[in-house]
Structures are given as C-alpha cells and as structure tokens.
Structure 1
Amino acid sequence: MHNLSRFFKIVRNFLFSSMNREFLIFLFFLGLSGTFWLLMALNETYDKDIPVSIKLVNVPRNVVITQNMNDTIDVTMRDKGFTLLTYSYAGKIQPVTIDFERYANKERGFGRVPLSDLQRMIYSRLYSSSKISAIKSDSVTFYFNYGQSKRIPIRALGQLQTGRSYYISRIAFQPNYATIYASRQILDSIRWVTTEKLNLRHIEDTVSLLVSLRSIPGAKITPKTVRMTIYPDILTEESVEVPIEAVNMPEGKILRTFPSKVKVTFTVGGSRFRNIRPEQFVVVADYDDITNHPSDRCPIKLSQFPNEIRRPKLEMTQVDYLIEQR
C-alpha cells in the first residue's frame, strides 16, 4: 500500500511540474483547435458516393426471379459534411423498395425501373437539404418467369492442358445437367451452359474441383456450382492391319493390290486401345485415281478411323496392283 501511494505521488509530481504543465496546456489547445477545424470542415458542402440498398417486394408466389437486381446502387449526394457523415455511418437511408406488380412486364418477363422513378424514391428517404448529383445506374432491371425451365448439359470452358504424352479422355460433372429458369425465348436459344473460364496446365493425374457455372443474362441457373472431374490418360503408339478395299470399280473389273493389307499406326489412350478393332478402319484404293493418274503403283488412303485415336498414319501410301477382267 505504501509503494502504491508512493507511485501515485511520483506520477502527480511529474504531470504537474512546471514543464509538463505547459505541455498539457499545449495539448489542450491543440485538441480544441482541432475540434474547431473539424466542425468547420463538416459544415462545408461536399459530394460523396453513398450506397443505397434496393429491394424487390410483392413478388407473387408463382413467379421465379431469374435475374435479380443489384442489392445496392451508388448515389452521388451533395450536402453538408455533417449530413453526409450521418448517411455513411448512421444508416439513416432506408432501403428503396421496388413494387414488382408496378414495374413487371408480364408478357416479356422482365421489369425496369426508370431513373426518374428511382430518383424520386431515393429523395423521399433523404433530408430536404440533400441533392442527388448522379445515380450510378441508368435503370434497375430484373427478369422473371412463371416456372418455365430446361435441363441442359454442362461444358468446360477455358484452357485444359495435359502433360507430355497425356490427353484428356473424359470430363465428368456432378450433377451432369443444370436447370435453367428463363423466358421461353431465352430457353429456346440455350443449348448448354459452361463453367467459368478455367486455366489448368500439366494435367497428368485425375483432377476434381468445384467450379462455378457462367451466368446467362436474364436466366437463373441451378445449381450455381458443380464438381468437375478431369480424367487424363497416357498416350501409346499402336498399330493394326487393315485390308485394302477397292472403290469406284467398273462392272466386270477386279482390283488386286499387293500387299492386300496395310498397317495403320496411331496414338491412343492406354485404357482405350482394347476397344479399337481393325474393322473400324477403312483403307481404299480408288479406281478413278488410277485412271486419272496412270502409274505403276496405286495410291491408297485412309478414309475412316475411330474418333478415339490420334495422328493415324498409313505405313505406305502406294502399293502394287493388278486389274483383272471377270
């Protein structure tokens, strides 16, 4: 107790010594002048952007809002600093309510609030001294329908690059489809919905991630996010032997080639090669090519191959041939 009294005595003597007394007086007048300066500054007129909340009301139960309005709009107001400070930090501006029934165009499925109406509604919530200099919006627009919807597939959008010797064998989404709510005109024009733009590189293992679906003006998309799984596969070089078929042969003539089969090399995913069969390939020798460009050897070409393979190539592009008369 004695030590505490001694401590307070030391502090009192320090604060009220002649030097510190002058410092305290200086701080007092400094604070007083600062207060006067602040009061004078707040009494000046300024322009300031103030966010104003907006809300759609009286929406019928059978209506689906497919694209809502922004929650807030920025309004540039001119008034004394005191008033602007009240708007900014005291929450004095009540939200502007937009009556659905008044502004909805039920035939076209959208509603628009003109700038003049918006300004009038905001003025009704301001002090009489406040003036609106600008509204950062030409109009407030919302879209709706009466439950019309459509299930459409999802596609990936962006750059999806695999590592060397790999390719993307499959992309799966969970769920596989998205439901779109919009006007009939918009629904008829939509064939699929895409993800937001992606940029994935050096994919060599299975990748699974949550992705957002890209918004469509005037439409509501459900769900907003899906799980996308990317399945890469390693590329291998394989080959099959395919018989050479003659095409455009005149009646009574037979084309024989030597050899009768040719090897086709290609690259394919390791997991898909087991599904590749020689009969999925077609190699042809065209009689018209022989007659139009006479030669000792017959040109051949690959006219059909499976979609799963890449870079198909014939082992040879010309073969010996013989045309027989029946």
Structure 2
Amino acid sequence: MKNYLGSIARFLHKLLFSKTNKELLIFVFFLALSGIFWLQTTLNEVYEREFAIPVSVVGIPKNAVLTSDETDTVRVTIRDKGITLLTYMYGDILRKVNVNFKNYSHGNGTGVITQQELQKLVYQQLANGSRITAMKPEKLEFYYNYGDKKTVPVRWSGRVIPEELFFISRVAYSPDSVTIYASPEKLDSINVVYTEQLNYANFRDTLRANCELAKIKGVKMIPDHVRVTFCTDVLTEESIEGVPIKAINLPKGKSIRTFPSRVNVTFVTGVSVYRNLKPTDFYVVADYNEIKDHPQEKCHIYLKSVPRGISRARLETSMVDYLIESDEE
C-alpha cells in the first residue's frame, strides 16, 4: 500500500513540476487571472435589460369577484451595472408586485394602476443605483363585480377538417356550458362563448381536443377550459323511399290527394346516420295556396326539412299529379 501511494506521489510530482507542465500551469493561472479581471470589468459596465414582473391584485373583498386575471405582467427595462442586473436575473430581489384592491378600485367595476404608481412599487424592490428607463404597458386595469353571473353554452371555433370522404357527424362538449362573471352590460351582450382557435385536419377517427376558452376582456369564465369531441363518420350517398307528401295551408273542408302519395329522397350522410333513418324523418309538402293561385295539371312539392346529419338532399321528382277534394258534410 505504501509503495502504491508512493508511486502516485512521484507521478503527481513529475506532472506538476516538470518544466513543460510548469509552463502550462503558469499559462492557465494567468489565463484565469485575466478572465477574472475581464469579468470584473464587464460586470462593472452599465447595461440595460428588460424584466417581466408579475403584478397581483390582493385584498379583494369577499363579496367581490375579480373578472380579469388576478395576476398580470408588466415589462420593465432597468439600467444598472452588470453585477446588479445579474442579481435581478438570478436572485429573488425582483419579486411579484402586489397592488391593494381598495387603493385602486374606482367603485364602478374597474380599477386602474398608472405607470407612475407601478414604477413606485417596482422601485421599492430595486437597488439605489438602478433606474427604470422604460415600462410596458402604460397602465394596468382590472375588472370586478359583486356576483353578477349567467350560464352560457360553449361552441368551438377554428378550422377542423377530417379526411376526404369523412365528415363531422357530431360535436360534444364537456362541460357544454360555463358560468361567466362580468358587468351587467357585458352579461346581456354575451349569449355564447367560444374556444380558442382550433386547427386540425386530415383525421378520420374521433378527435378529442382539450382547449382553453377564448378570453373576453372583463369576463371571468368558470371553468376556463373545455374538452371538445369531434365524432366522424364515412360519407355516403343514399336514398330513402316512401316519404309521405303532406298538404299545407288547407282551408277547412278541403283536402289534397297527390299521385303518387309518397316520393323518394336522395341525400348525402354518414353510414351510422343512415342506419337509423325513417321516411317520416323527412318533411315533404304540397302547398294549397300555390295550387290555388297557379293551377296546373301538376303541382310542385317541396322538401321542407331533413334530419340532422343530412346534406345535399333532393327529391327524385319535384312535381306530381293532384286532386283537390271537398270533405263530405
């Protein structure tokens, strides 16, 4: 063991005190020394740097609801020596700025903190030699009410396009509505809230998207995010036979018989929708008023309504024979 330690000691002695290694050590020493002087000189220079500082509203009364974000951000450009800016960057000197609700509330559902007031609050956290050269934005606003709210439905917005030959057969939301808090005027003007812009394309299976709700100034939403499910189906062109023709606008004592009494309807839909269709799901009519005003050998028939999930629906024939009858007394 002693021989082993002695060998290591001799090796280190040769490594450190040989002529070549001495020169290398001297070079490294002076290189490190010059680096220290350079760093000291650099850190003593004056610089400017922008910092993002969170600003929070505190002291909110229990009966008040903040309808804007509780925490906003102000961007401050500070001028000082590099060493001081480093402490701001990596230390905890620049902490969150708190503004007291009662000091800035105007009593009308809004509160404003001016740039001058924000600067005073930030200066309280800065070193004596630091100077603020710029601040954005020029002011911060917050909104509140005293419990006014309503429930509104959620709808998606954006671009959601499945693969060719597929279509969106159903959209489900979880939750399908949210509670919004705002001023009475805003509550009256909002009947629906939308998601952030969605952008999905070329999918064929059911798509589930967790998304934030689009922000509205002065409005708080609970919850502020939803899950949207897009169900897809395969497009197919089909037809259904035996859709009954019904007469409308008939005066008392009159009836219309059409020949044929039923027609076929052609349409585009999803396979799963088609499986559940019935002829009575479609509404085809002959209008007595039109027949009376413009009598012809044949009358026009119209497809008035179709079930959900049906597109490009059309009648196989648009005119039929008819007979107007008077009901027997």
Offset at 1:153?
0.9
1:40: which partner in 2?
Answer: 41
Aligned-partner residue type, residue 69 of structure 2: N
1:57: which partner in 2?
Answer: 58
Cα distance in 2 for partners of 1:23, 1:231 equals: 71
1:206: which partner in 2?
Answer: 206
Mind listing any 5+ residue stretches in structure 2 that lack a counterpart? none
2:286: which partner in 1?
Answer: 284
Offset at 1:247?
7.4
The CA deviation string for residues 125-151 of structure 1, in whole angstroms up to 9 with x for no partner, is: 322222111012111222212122211
1:82: which partner in 2?
Answer: 83
Residue 127 of structure 2 is aligned to residue 127 of structure 1: yes
Cα distance in 2 for partners of 1:191, 1:183 equals: 14
Cα distance in 1 for partners of 2:304, 2:186 equals: 39
Aligned-partner residue type, residue 138 of structure 1: E
1:25-174 superposed matches below 5 A: 25-68=26-69, 70-107=71-108, 109-174=109-174
Question: In 2, are the aligned partners of 1:243 and 1:262 still within 8 Å (CA)?
Answer: yes
Change (3 A) 1:23 1:277: same
2:185: which partner in 1?
Answer: 185
Task: Specify the SS of the correspondent of 1:312.
Answer: strand
Question: In 2, are the aligned partners of 1:52 and 1:96 still within 8 Å (CA)?
Answer: yes
Scaled by the length of structure 1, what TM-score is found?
0.84
Cα distance in 2 for partners of 1:47, 1:62 equals: 43
Question: In 2, are the aligned partners of 1:62 and 1:146 still within 8 Å (CA)?
Answer: yes
Residue 198 of structure 2 is aligned to residue 194 of structure 1: no
Change (3 A) 1:249 1:258: same
Task: Specify the SS of the correspondent of 1:11.
Answer: helix
Cα distance in 2 for partners of 1:25, 1:279 equals: 95
Change (3 A) 1:106 1:266: same
Identify the range of structure 1 (74-83 vs 280-289) with the bigger mean alpha-carbon deviation. Answer: 280-289
Task: Specify the SS of the correspondent of 1:156.
Answer: strand
Aligned-partner residue type, residue 199 of structure 2: N
Identify the range of structure 1 (315-324 vs 177-186) with the bigger mean alpha-carbon deviation. Answer: 315-324
Change (3 A) 1:255 1:69: closer
The CA deviation string for residues 95-125 of structure 1, in whole angstroms up to 9 with x for no partner, is: 3221110111222x12110111111222233
1:264: which partner in 2?
Answer: 265
1:226: which partner in 2?
Answer: 226
Task: Specify the SS of the correspondent of 1:287.
Answer: helix
Offset at 1:246?
6.9
Cα distance in 2 for partners of 1:100, 1:112 equals: 10
Question: In 1, are the aligned partners of 2:166 and 2:234 still within 8 Å (CA)?
Answer: yes
Question: In 1, are the aligned partners of 2:302 and 2:318 still within 8 Å (CA)?
Answer: no
How many residue pairs were aligned? 321
Residue 20 of structure 2 is aligned to residue 19 of structure 1: yes
Task: Specify the SS of the correspondent of 2:76.
Answer: strand
The sequence identity of aligned pairs, in percent, is 40
Scaled by the length of structure 2, what TM-score is found?
0.83
Cα distance in 2 for partners of 1:233, 1:168 equals: 7
Cα distance in 1 for partners of 2:55, 2:31 equals: 44
Question: In 1, are the aligned partners of 2:243 and 2:279 still within 8 Å (CA)?
Answer: no
Identify the range of structure 1 (55-64 vs 273-282) with the bigger mean alpha-carbon deviation. Answer: 273-282
Mind listing any 5+ residue stretches in structure 1 that lack a counterpart? none
Cα distance in 1 for partners of 2:249, 2:153 equals: 42
Aligned-partner residue type, residue 120 of structure 2: R
Task: Specify the SS of the correspondent of 2:196.
Answer: coil
Cα distance in 2 for partners of 1:271, 1:166 equals: 12
Change (3 A) 1:317 1:58: closer
Question: In 1, are the aligned partners of 2:248 and 2:285 still within 8 Å (CA)?
Answer: no
Change (3 A) 1:184 1:11: same
Task: Specify the SS of the correspondent of 2:133.
Answer: strand
Question: In 2, are the aligned partners of 1:257 and 1:320 still within 8 Å (CA)?
Answer: yes
Aligned-partner residue type, residue 60 of structure 2: V
